[in-house]
Amino acid sequence: MEIKILHLYHDIMNLYGEYGNVKIIEQHIKDQGFDVIVDKKTIGDEINFNDYDFIYMGCGTEKNQKVILQDIMSKKDDFLNSINERKSYFINWQ
Protein backbone atom coordinates (compact mmCIF):
# COMPACT_ATOMS: atom_id res chain seq x y z
CA MET A 1 0.00 0.00 0.00
CA GLU A 2 1.13 3.51 -0.77
CA ILE A 3 0.59 6.59 1.39
CA LYS A 4 0.78 10.00 -0.27
CA ILE A 5 1.72 13.02 1.83
CA LEU A 6 1.28 16.61 0.71
CA HIS A 7 3.68 19.06 2.32
CA LEU A 8 1.79 22.27 1.68
CA TYR A 9 3.68 25.58 1.48
CA HIS A 10 6.91 23.76 2.34
CA ASP A 11 8.98 26.78 1.34
CA ILE A 12 7.02 29.45 3.21
CA MET A 13 5.44 27.80 6.26
CA ASN A 14 8.72 26.43 7.55
CA LEU A 15 9.41 28.30 10.77
CA TYR A 16 10.89 25.42 12.74
CA GLY A 17 12.39 23.22 10.02
CA GLU A 18 9.11 21.53 9.19
CA TYR A 19 10.79 19.36 6.55
CA GLY A 20 12.23 17.42 9.51
CA ASN A 21 8.75 16.72 10.86
CA VAL A 22 7.66 15.45 7.45
CA LYS A 23 10.75 13.22 7.25
CA ILE A 24 9.92 11.71 10.66
CA ILE A 25 6.31 11.06 9.61
CA GLU A 26 7.56 9.52 6.37
CA GLN A 27 9.99 7.26 8.23
CA HIS A 28 7.36 6.07 10.74
CA ILE A 29 5.00 5.18 7.89
CA LYS A 30 7.79 3.30 6.10
CA ASP A 31 8.57 1.46 9.34
CA GLN A 32 4.99 0.18 9.26
CA GLY A 33 5.66 -1.38 5.85
CA PHE A 34 4.03 1.20 3.60
CA ASP A 35 5.49 2.93 0.57
CA VAL A 36 5.49 6.73 0.96
CA ILE A 37 5.42 9.53 -1.57
CA VAL A 38 5.91 13.12 -0.38
CA ASP A 39 4.83 15.90 -2.73
CA LYS A 40 5.65 19.54 -2.07
CA LYS A 41 3.29 22.26 -3.25
CA THR A 42 3.36 26.01 -2.80
CA ILE A 43 1.68 29.21 -3.94
CA GLY A 44 0.17 28.94 -7.40
CA ASP A 45 0.48 25.16 -7.69
CA GLU A 46 -2.54 23.17 -8.80
CA ILE A 47 -3.58 20.69 -6.12
CA ASN A 48 -6.03 17.82 -6.19
CA PHE A 49 -6.50 17.19 -2.48
CA ASN A 50 -8.15 13.85 -3.23
CA ASP A 51 -4.74 12.58 -4.38
CA TYR A 52 -3.38 12.70 -0.82
CA ASP A 53 -3.84 10.62 2.30
CA PHE A 54 -2.14 13.11 4.61
CA ILE A 55 -1.71 16.88 4.31
CA TYR A 56 0.91 18.67 6.37
CA MET A 57 1.38 22.41 6.65
CA GLY A 58 3.90 23.77 9.09
CA CYS A 59 3.77 26.98 11.02
CA GLY A 60 5.14 30.26 9.82
CA THR A 61 5.60 33.82 10.86
CA GLU A 62 2.63 36.15 10.78
CA LYS A 63 4.15 37.75 7.69
CA ASN A 64 4.33 34.38 5.90
CA GLN A 65 0.81 33.48 6.98
CA LYS A 66 -0.37 36.63 5.23
CA VAL A 67 1.66 35.67 2.14
CA ILE A 68 -0.18 32.34 1.73
CA LEU A 69 -3.61 33.59 2.80
CA GLN A 70 -4.93 34.50 -0.65
CA ASP A 71 -3.66 31.28 -2.20
CA ILE A 72 -5.02 28.99 0.50
CA MET A 73 -8.38 30.75 0.48
CA SER A 74 -8.59 30.17 -3.30
CA LYS A 75 -8.25 26.42 -2.56
CA LYS A 76 -10.72 26.38 0.34
CA ASP A 77 -13.68 24.90 -1.55
CA ASP A 78 -11.56 22.14 -3.13
CA PHE A 79 -10.11 21.27 0.26
CA LEU A 80 -13.49 21.17 1.99
CA ASN A 81 -15.02 19.12 -0.83
CA SER A 82 -12.19 16.61 -0.48
CA ILE A 83 -12.87 16.30 3.24
CA ASN A 84 -16.61 15.88 2.71
CA GLU A 85 -16.11 13.26 -0.02
CA ARG A 86 -13.90 11.21 2.30
CA LYS A 87 -15.93 11.72 5.47
CA SER A 88 -17.96 8.55 5.05
CA TYR A 89 -14.75 6.61 4.37
CA PHE A 90 -13.18 7.73 7.64
CA ILE A 91 -16.35 7.28 9.66
CA ASN A 92 -16.75 3.68 8.43
CA TRP A 93 -13.06 2.80 8.51
CA GLN A 94 -12.18 0.07 10.99
Task: Report the chain (94 residues): mean pLDDT per 10 consecutive residues.
Answer: 96 93 96 97 96 94 96 95 75 50
pLDDT at 90: 54
Distance CA 77, CA 67 (A): 19
Q: What is the pLDDT of residue 21?
A: 94
- Residue in 47, 46, 48, 44 with CA at minimum distance from that of residue 67: 44
Q: Which domains does the chain have, with CATH numbers?
A: 2-92 (3.40.50)
H-type alpha helices, 1-94: 18-31, 62-74, 76-92
Model pLDDT, residue 45: 97
42 closest CA partner among 69, 18, 7, 66: 7
Phi-psi region of 9 (alpha: psi -120 to 50; beta: other; left: phi over 0): left
Query: What is the structure's pLDDT at 66?
Result: 96
Alpha-carbon span 7 to 39, nearest angstrom = 6
